[in-house]
Amino acid sequence: MTRIGRRRFLAVGSVACAVGFAGCGLDEEGELVVSNTQVHYQEGDRRYRYPQDVGARITIENTLTETQTVTLEATLEHEGSDGNWDAVATKTQTVEVLAATSRIPFVVFESVAGSDDEARDFRIETELVE
């Protein structure tokens, strides 16, 4: 019976682990996407400077292997009494998203809400411009 030395065992074990984990890393074909948007509005909310401000929390995910800098274009839309969505305001901001992470910028649209509006009356449309 041949005895395997500690160094040889570690070398073989390391190679086996490397082969086993090959392909489990980040996908070279990853993407940069907006995965979630949330509208935040409540009349008189103390987070904002003015009571008619509407906020939006936007999640940007980067599944690429490199940090990405992108311009986020967010358009706040309001549902009219006819059921159609009309653009109220558009904001842009540059966002840096580290590799294999997500970033959640908060965008504030100032003085856009009316006295009868609720959060469900608004939605956010987004576009990432590289």
Burial class (CB in 10 A: 0-12, 13-18, 19+), 103: middle
Residue 5 has what DSSP assignment? P
Residue 39's closest CA among 125, 127, 128?
Answer: 125
pLDDT at residue 71, rounded to an integer: 97
Residues 6+ apart with CB under 8 A from 71: 92, 93, 94, 95, 128, 129, 130
Q: At residue 100, does pLDDT exceed 60? A: yes
Task: Give alpha helix (H) positions in the chain.
Answer: 6-21
Which of 28-32, 70-74, 102-106, 115-119 is the least confident region? 28-32
Q: Which domains does the chain have, with CATH numbers?
A: 26-129 (2.60.40.10)
C-alpha span between 130 and 126 (Å, rounded): 13
Sorting pLDDT into bands at 50, 70 and 90, what band is 32?
A: very high
